[in-house]
Structure 1
Amino acid sequence: MDIIKHNQDNWELKVKQQNQWTVPVSSEEIQNARMGEWSIIVTSTKPVPKEWFPELSGKNVLCLASGGGQQGPVLAAAGASVTVLDLSDSQLEQDRYVAKRDGLSIRTVLGSMTDLSMFDSESFDLLVHPVSNLYVPHIQPVWQEAYRVLKHGGIMISGFMNPVFYLFDWELEEQGTLQVKHTLPYSELDYASEEEIVKSGVALEFGHTLEQQIGGQIQSGFMIAGLYEDSFGGKKLLDRYANSFIATRAIKP
């Protein structure tokens, strides 16, 4: 199965459906960012702590798998030189829309988070990587490429799924019951045929272990310098028992 093409098509559809992660920030948010009042999220609800960021003025920032007109435009308005990479051109169009609407300079690049060969080594001061690596089966290339393109002393802020999210039976959870069904690491390909996945009309997801998520960053050379958890804000049954998201701040020594 062409996983990348399937998920690319799904995100093109999400933009048409105005999924919450495809709706651009407002002009008011951009104006506030220009005045120094800004925040972004890389998980579901919690803003990234302001102290996690370097001084943004003049810094080269890569928003990795981060289209949608949200993180990139805010950081550009706050003074950064921003490049947004995403697999979906419609998602990138949201960033171009905000840039044109509000007079921002944002570079958009169509590509996969696993291959940053279009960028030179040590090109960026900051990488912002919201929850998105659930859409690729192998995430070590993501961490390795991120490490390569970051400057020494650079920072990577990442959001990803807590693997506990993938343990449970989806249908029973919607009915109010948490019942363990899946093993970790999780792949939808283990539980549904290609035909069923295509017919479902949803993106193909992979639940990576904490060893792959946090250990993978360390293996690539990063130092983990911060961590917090987040939930769906009470929208999911699992929120009563555990957080479904994790964010990390990693530094390239």
Structure 2
Amino acid sequence: MNIVDYNSKAWDRNVEKKNRWTIPVDREAIQKAKNGKWEIYVTPTKPVPKEWFPPLKGLKVLCLASGGGQQGPVLAAAGAEVTVFDNSVEQLKQDRFVAEREGLVIRTVKGDMRDLRIFDNETFDLIIHPVSNLFVDDVLPVWKESSRVLKKGGSLISGFMNPVFYLFDWELEEQGKLEVRYPIPYSDLAHLTEKQIEHQLNHCIPLEFGHSLEDQIKGQIESGFVITGFYEDDFGGKRLLDKYIHTFIATKAFKPFHTTFAAPGDSLKKEV
């Protein structure tokens, strides 16, 4: 199956379901951002440290796989020149909704986070990439393309899943039991039963992939980044695993001035 197309439609459906990552920020958050008091999240509960950001005024920012009307509008209100890139049309509509409501300028582009060919080399000063690369089966192109479109001296701020989350049987975990069942790297398509996959497809639930820490962290390093910031997060006590380990990771990566990058990807994108 075409995972990119399926997850695009699944996230369109998540907007209808009002998933927490699809709820646009309110007017109060935008007003605070205009007054210099802002924060964004790339993991569920901890805001990204302010010291991870350069001055935002006039900064060219790419919010990568970051639709939903959350990070992009806040950064735009704080003075950045924002492009939101996402695989879901409905998620991008949330960003345009906030932009129209608040008089902000935000460019929205639909496409696969692994292929940013619509953007020239060294286009952006900062990339914001919240927890979303679990929805592609190969994360390495995400880091390579991010490196290519980021200017030398720029930063990539990312959130992603600790793969330990995917070790356990989710259904049992929700019942209060921890049972190791799956290997890492993890894939819904490879490791769920036919009945479980059929349930996800029938209910338009996004397909997920648990990438190794080697691909998540070493993948950034081998794409030319130097990791300069790190923190962990969890579901805010809403999951059993929160009692034992943080299941989210955030990193800040810097692109040195001597970095080289690969050629752009092959597939086409479209601006919406």
Corresponding residue for residue 67 of structure 2: 67
- Equivalent residue, structure 2, for 1:223: 226
Structure 2 contact 9–204 (Cα < 8 Å) conserved: no
Q: Determine if the alignment matches structure 1 residue 203 to structure 2 residue 195.
A: no
State the distance in 2 between where 1:205 and 1:8 align. 13
Residue of structure 1 equivalent to 2:92: 92
In the alignment, which residue of structure 2 is the partner of 1:6? 6
Matched residues, percent identical?
63
Distance 2:184 2:35 in 1: 45
Deviations 1:106-159 (A, max 9, x none): 000011100100000000000000000000000110000000000000000000
CA distance in 2, matches of 1:29, 1:170: 34
SS in 2 for 1:9: helix
- Return the TM-score normalized by structure 2: 0.91
Amino acid at match of 1:128: I
- In the alignment, residue 115 of structure 2 is paired with which amino acid? D
- Structure 2 counterpart of 1:23, one-letter code: I
Q: Does 1:140 align with 2:143?
A: no
SS of 2:12's partner is helix
Which runs of structure 2 are paired with 1:32-111 in the superposition (5 Å)? 32-111=32-111
The amino acid of 1:6's aligned partner reads: Y
CA distance in 1, matches of 2:205, 2:90: 17
Q: Aligned pairs, how many? A: 253
Deviation at 1:2, TM superposition (A): 1.2
Q: Which residue number corresponds to residue 245 of structure 2?
A: 242
Q: Deviations over 1:218-253 (max 9, x none)?
A: 010100000000000000000000001000000000
**Cα distance in 1, alignment partners of residues 154 and 40 from structure 2:** 18
The one-letter code matched in structure 2 to 1:192 is: T
Q: How far apart, CA to CA, are the structure 1 residues paired with 2:32 and 2:199?
A: 45
State the Cα RMSD in Å. Answer: 0.9
Shift of 1:215: 0.5
Q: Tell me, which stretches of 5 or more residues in structure 2 are unaligned?
A: 257-272
Deviation >2 Å, runs of 4+? 191-197
Structure 2 match to 1:17 = 17
Q: Tell me the CA shift for residue 198 of structure 1.
A: 1.4
- SS of residue matched to 1:232: coil
